[in-house]
Amino acid sequence: MIRSIVFIGVCLGLYSCSATSPKPSGSPVDSSAKVSSWVTNGTQTKLLQKESATPIQKPSATALPLIEVDESQVFQEMDGFGAALTGSSAYLIQQKMNASQRTALLTELFDPQKGIGISYVRITAGASDFSLSDFTYQDDPSKPFSIEKDKADLLPALKSALTIQPALKIMGSPWSAPAWMKSSGKLGGGKLKPESYGDFAGYLVNYIKGYRAEGINLEAISVQNEPLHEAAYPSMRMEASEQLDFVKNHLGPAFRKESIATKILLYDHNWDRPDYPVTILNDPEAKQYVAGSAFHAYAGKVSAMSEVHAAHPDKGLYFTEISGGSWATNFGDNLKWNLSNIFIGTANNWSKNALLWNLALDPDAGPQNKGCTNCRGVVTVLPDGSFQRNVEYYALAHFSKFVRPGAKRIASGQSPASVEKVAFRNPDGSRVLIVLNTGTETARFAVKDGNRQFSYSLEPGAVSTLIWE
């Protein structure tokens, strides 16, 4: 049986458009070889809309630019795509939606057949700037560690998602150690006291064990969210030299002693400081405990991830946060930026995943906890419990639904000058080719994969997902 090929094409602009396929020449591979397509365009007249199928041909001479998918060149394995199930997101899902509304939303978000197949989420270890209040799991050192506060909303939402997507990967990130472990004596800002390094390592061990007791295994944790940023909300500064010491002499040994398999990720901050994780990975003793490095996109360029890969190609790279917001409201422009930088860009720069920030927020960009007042969720939960799909939903969907966990990035050589691209081979053998037309004119090209070929056109403003059965 012919293996299926998934093709995702993107062309973006500010005006109405559609993706069209010129009639191909040559003979078909077989009578059933077809390309099915799903389209989202910049004017929102097509939103993940299924379109008519196109026959696939045997390779033939063409004057069109050729994109050649080559599975003999294999790069990183993908862990998944998704967003952060913050405390605020979980609260809206659990408290502002009734049971049927909640089931409908979670099914649409996490089911790969009925929905968009989110396969990876990030959660906050304690409070963040998107929680209902400040808290940690041990605010008082005289009282025992407890994840009780997560049982109101976060744990029920996670467990519901896991019933829909049992293989869902979950990453935890602390925004701050408990105040009593910090030089500032408060959650907002300050540093971890050197004499508290062992306490904080034990705290993170207890966090993983606490979730395990609830039937939830954490795939990974980052050492500290945004360690070079201090704010009024829970936050904690940690220089590279301090994180090196903490991982090498405290967290890594504690994980080893307790036989914890949860991955340790460094940095978890912006692209502008690739030197931060490299400094830690350059220490062989610290490096042995580390699975990789995580990045955000609020500063710097995505190529920073490749800099870290070049220095330490044996360690993974992860993209873990970016938010949309009211500072950027044009659907077509946002679609283009997210695809170019966050999804195509991070994958081409060795990232194993791509995670957006809040999975769900309300129309007032909340609930907020002293942080961003104009952020946008992947979906907006409305006062009546219904939800609105935002541009981030569609950018995410064109990857999460079709590039499945375990997919491997493969080569996709050449292309028209205006086209950005990335290709994958899924575990079932299907191929995925994502193509972004950054120009103002329609891009016409042919796609060749072994003895299969088809022609395609990308007009400004459209994202097209094509599947070859």
pLDDT per residue, tens digit, the chain (469 aa), is: 334 444 444 443 332 333 344 444 455 556 568 877 788 888 899 898 887 877 889 999 999 999 999 999 999 999 999 999 999 999 999 999 999 999 999 999 999 999 999 999 999 999 999 999 999 999 999 999 999 999 999 999 999 999 999 999 999 999 999 999 999 999 999 999 999 999 999 999 999 999 999 999 999 999 999 999 999 999 999 999 999 999 999 999 999 999 999 999 999 999 999 999 999 999 999 999 999 999 999 999 999 999 999 999 999 999 999 999 999 999 999 999 999 999 999 999 999 999 999 999 999 999 999 999 999 999 999 999 999 999 999 999 999 999 999 999 999 988 888 988 999 999 998 988 988 888 888 888 888 988 898 888 888 878 787 777 6
Tell me if 1 sits within 8 A of 446, measured CB to CB.
Answer: no
385: Cβ–Cβ under 8 A, 6 or more apart, which residues?
A: 96, 97, 98, 101
For 272, the 3-state DSSP assignment is coil
Query: Which residues of the chain does CATH 3.20.20.80 include?
Result: 79-400
pLDDT digits (tens, 9 = 90+) for 223-240: 999 999 999 999 999 999
Q: Which CATH number fits domain 79-400: 3.20.20.80, 3.40.50.720, 3.40.50.970, 3.40.50.1000?
A: 3.20.20.80
Distance CA(317)–CA(293), nearest Å, equals 5
pTM for the full predicted model: 0.94
Residues 6+ apart with CB under 8 A from 428: 3, 4, 404
- pLDDT for 26 equals 52
Provide CB contacts within 8 A for 335, sequence distance 6+: 10, 12, 40, 42, 391, 394, 395, 463
For residue 288, what are the contacts with CB-CB under 8 A and spacing of at least 6? 252
pLDDT at residue 29, rounded to an integer: 58
CATH 2.60.40.1180 in the chain, residues? 5-76+408-468
Give the CA distances from residue 202 to residues 112, 122, 148, 367, in Å, rounded to whole numbers and listed in that order.
37, 21, 18, 30
How many other CB atoms are found less than 10 A from the CB of residue 321? 24
pLDDT digit string (tens) for 153-188?
A: 999 999 999 999 999 999 999 999 999 999 999 999
**Is 392:341 a contact under the CB 8 Å cutoff?**
no
Q: Write down the H helix ranges in 270-350.
A: 275-281, 284-287, 304-311, 331-337, 344-348
Q: Which one is the CATH code of 5-76+408-468: 3.30.930.10, 2.60.40.1180, 3.10.20.30, 2.30.42.10?
A: 2.60.40.1180
138, amino acid identity: Q
